[in-house]
């Protein structure tokens, strides 16, 4: 049902680009650019001076009986 409002939402955001409040305008621009081109990727780093981390943590959800071996 929400997807039925897609065109209306995009038009509304487009009309807010020229809004007098710069915060409203920036949010509209960000919304439209994120939908058009995707959000920019951000590297994950361990500390401010270090390089981006290469290893990511894998999370698995298991049923309680699986942990007992059965």
**Tens-digit pLDDT profile for residues 11-60:** 999 999 999 999 999 999 999 999 888 887 776 666 667 666 666 666 77
- The H-or-E segment that residue 11 falls in is helix 6-15
Both tokens of 65, joined, read 């009986």
Give the model's pLDDT for residue 60.
73
Domain parsing of the chain, residue ranges: 3-37
- State the pTM of this model: 0.54
* 5 burial via Cβ count (<10 Å: 0-12, 13-18, 19+): exposed
Instruction: Give the pLDDT score at 40.
Output: 78
């Amino acid at each position: 049902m929400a997807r039925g409002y897609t065109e209306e939402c995009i038009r509304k955001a487009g009309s807010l680009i020229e809004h007098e409040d710069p915060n409203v305008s920036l949010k509209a621009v960000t919304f439209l650019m994120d939908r058009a081109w995707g959000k920019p990727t951000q590297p994950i780093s361990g500390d401010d001076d270090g390089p981006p981390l290469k290893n990511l943590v894998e999370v698995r959800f298991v049923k309680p009986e699986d942990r007992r071996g059965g």
